[in-house]
Structure 1
Amino acid sequence: MNATTAPIPFFSGAQSVRRDWPRLEARIREVAASGQFTSGPVTAELEAAVAERTGARHAIAVANGTDALVILLRAAGIGPGDEVIVPAYTFFATASAVLHVGAEPVLVDVLPGSYAMDPERAEAAVTERTKAIMPVHLFSQMADMETLRELSDRRGLLLLEDSAEGIDMRAGGIHAGLWGSGGVLSFFPTKTLGSLGDAGMLLTNDDDIAGHARRLRCHGQDTDGEYLYHEIGYNSRCDELQSAFLLHRLERLSEEIERRSELAARYDRALAPLAPQVTTPWMAPAKTPSNQVYYVYLIECDRRDELVAFLDAHGVGTEAYYPRPLTEQPVLAPLDGARHPVPVAAAASRRALALPLYPDLADEQADRVCALLHAFYGDQS
């Protein structure tokens, strides 16, 4: 097998780990020697580093990004009887986190380009039970946060952010997750800043939310009294090995984001001749536009499922983000919140496809992916 036939996975970080193993091994040995494996000094160091990078007053490490969402919602006071407006085009955890705290997700359509919550649709969905709106920042750019903050202020709603993919995304100098009461980060391995397994973080500038979140991540234990509990929380601690790995990755984050941008530009140039059968990523209008940070490179394309099969047959991994809107998920279908039309989300679910994009991807591999797309659609250059 040579470079022209070797499989191209949708994601791989193996090369980076091999390159950095001597430094990583030294850090892991330090953790092993310390005898403290969870919620220790390395995790505190990670929290401080992320807080400094994002500008958050509080960065609170937890076991994964979904836990971060659940804890954020509870810490912000969301519970039974409340409605939370969320986009219909997102990962299931956005809605399931709302259900976990006893509230109801109200699903609204998204905007083309950003795939983020449509502010007009969000406002139309506000009822007397609405407690919060929770936009999601997807793929490479933030939602229109200035417009959404104006909406939340005008209607007296909490503004929360599912910013799981949003590390280093900023609009008007404000980091994703910090436009309202709080947001989250996911460190799932494929993320822009990924761990060796699962980890997550809650970001907030609100002291009360931060204090509540810190209690909830440790079974509800009062931070001022050991083994003192006033509520039921979760066992959601970030372990020291993940924190050590993330601290190392954080040192390389800027160069890795730049590499992702280089690969995205390479895709842009090579795939432009395939329009209109292939639409490459574009920045959606916003009052305060964000920078682009490519978590994935998402195209919209004709005959999406046929293209997936063709690329798979040639050893190229892809991911359909997302093959159906949340309104079509069986567990959410009975909700009154699934009552709004979502034509943009429905169309994207049939056409959207993420191509391989990660720092270890070689230029030659990206070129081969593009050549296969040209072969599938017929070379139009």
Structure 2
Amino acid sequence: MIAATELGIPFFNGAEGFAQCWPDISRHLDEMFDSGKFSHGRKVAEWERALAEYTGARHVVAVNSGTDALVLLLRACGIRPGDEVIVPAFSFVATASSVVLAGGTPVFADIDPVSHTLDPRAAEAAVTPRTRALMPVHLFSRPADLTSLGAVARRHGLTLVEDSAEGIGMRWDGVHAGLLGSGGVLSFSPAKTLGALGDAGAVLTDDPEIAAQVSTLRHHGRIGQTVDNIAGISNLSGVSGTNSKMDDLQAAVLLGKLPQLDAAIARRAELARAYTERLRGVEGVLRLPAVVERDVPADPVCCAYVIEADRRDALVGHLTAQGIGTEVYYPTPLHLQPCFAGLGNRLGDFAHAEAAAERTVALPCYPDLSTAAVDRVCDAIRRFYAANAS
């Protein structure tokens, strides 16, 4: 494991976990090479079946990234030019850019200050006659309040789409993230809870029509394709698709790592508890990840351990000088990003999102990390605030 005695503590390192999974990964890779099919082939189909079994989804469509999964899902749900999709103002840029790429218009709403997820009251206030969909994000470690957001969607006749890119293993009242509405997505970028060797993603849905549409869109609008016969181009649908097929190499890696996923989730939870125990009461640390009380049981998964901290940027500089990696999610809220300036939002529009952008920082939290490394990170944080006490 990454120990506190080493020169530095990287923000993410998955080398040890990858080595442990290598026998399974190697077997899947050998089968891939023996098949001679390296894209949209048998390993991808096998991965779709395995992921469906793990999540309980009736349909899984593997694609080449979490971003493309969002775009294709929104298109499959019928988003068209002029349609508005309500999204949180605090999230990764793909949450909003996927709406634009699907042809719609993102409409921002503020977040709940504790969970950092879409505030149902703010979302409802943002509904207009042009609103077509509501897209909450399951962020960092907690699912959004899908009970309240689902009620908002039903009251206004909206499609509920989940940006569950970080949601592998998260469940809401026993239902896996991405399956509470029309569909959801998963991202398998390398630092995610379940990471591939590069970009990879998937759409989850219980709706066969949405699954069929996403499957068509991911392969240039082709229909009736199988893993054994995908070379022809005569069977095109009436929609223009794109090239968003998953590579079999990524599917092989994910198949090899899937058996260790629950253990990896449990280890992340252990590390999160260790951070919380050691940082509770530290002056300058404004908020630690909290268990948000819900009306239904919600299973969190610590994709990232994110705190809110006073003098965040100075703290990041101090930790960097100590050889400790961090990540700021996200330094600029979506409504203030230059690419969305044309939507007319201004500083002060979404107070909770803006506060989170100024104060949040993610600490190292991954299965290869040792508890001793957590001690070192927490000691460095204590020293920073002790030295800067007013």
Q: 2:382 aligns with which of 353, 358, 374?
A: 374
1:34 aligned onto 2:12: no
Provide closer, same or farther for how the CA distance between residues 107 and 340 of structure 1 changes in structure 2, counting only shifts above 3 A. farther
Matches within 5 A, 1:288-367: 288-336=296-344, 341-367=349-375
Identity of aligned residues (%): 50
Q: 1:215-261 CA distances to partner (integer Å, 9 max, x unpaired)?
A: 00000112269522222101011111111110111100000000000
Aligned equivalent of 1:268? 276
1:80 is paired with a residue whose SS is coil
Match of 1:259 in 2: 267
Q: Does 1:238 align with 2:246?
A: yes
The answer for the alignment partner of 2:90 in structure 1 is 89
Tell me what 1:9 maps to.
10
Q: Secondary structure at the match of 2:132?
A: strand
Aligned-pair CA distance for 1:287:
3.2
Report the 3-state secondary structure (helix = DSSP H, G, I; strand = E; otherwise coil) of the residue aligned with 2:133.
strand
TM-score if structure 2 supplies the norm length?
Answer: 0.94
Alignment partner, residue 21 of structure 1: 22
CA distance 1:341–1:4, shift in 2 (3 Å): same
The one-letter code sitting in structure 1 at the alignment partner of 2:72 is I
**Counterpart of 2:338 in 1: which secondary structure?**
coil
2:182 counterpart letter in structure 1: S
C-alpha deviations, 1:14-38, integer Å up to 9, x for none?
Answer: 1122333344333322211210111
The equivalent of 1:124 in structure 2 is: 125
Instruction: Give the distance between the partners of 1:161 and 1:303, measured in 2 at CA.
Output: 33
Quick one: structure 1 residues 316 and 250, their matched pair in 2 at CA, closer, same or farther if it must change by over 3 Å?
same
Counterpart CA distance in 2 for 1:47 and 1:3 is 39
Contact kept? 1:59, 1:201, Cα under 8 Å: yes
Contact map agreement 1:106 1:338 (CA 8 A) in 2: no
Task: For 2:49 and 2:31, locate their aligned partners in 1 and report how far apart those are by CA, in whole Å.
Answer: 19
Q: Secondary structure at the match of 1:7?
A: coil
DSSP 3-state at the match of 2:204: strand
Question: Aligned partners of 1:299 and 1:98: how far apart in 2?
Answer: 28
User: For residue 203 of structure 2, what is the aligned residue in structure 1?
Assistant: 202
Question: 1:10–1:319: 8 Å Cα contact kept in structure 2?
Answer: yes
Superposed displacement of residue 338, structure 1: 6.9
Structure 2 unpaired stretches of 5+: none
Q: Give the alignment's Cα RMSD to 1 decimal.
A: 1.8
- Identify if the C-alpha distance between structure 1 residues 115 and 289 changes in structure 2 by more than 3 Å, giving closer, same or farther: farther
The CA deviation at 1:339 is 9.6
Alpha carbons 2:306, 2:362 under 8 Å: kept: yes
CA distance in 1, matches of 2:284, 2:377: 18
Give the Cα separation in 2 of the matches to 1:215 and 1:340.
Answer: 42
Q: Distance in 2 between matches of 1:327 and 1:80?
A: 20
- Which blocks of at least 5 consecutive residues in structure 1 are unaligned? none
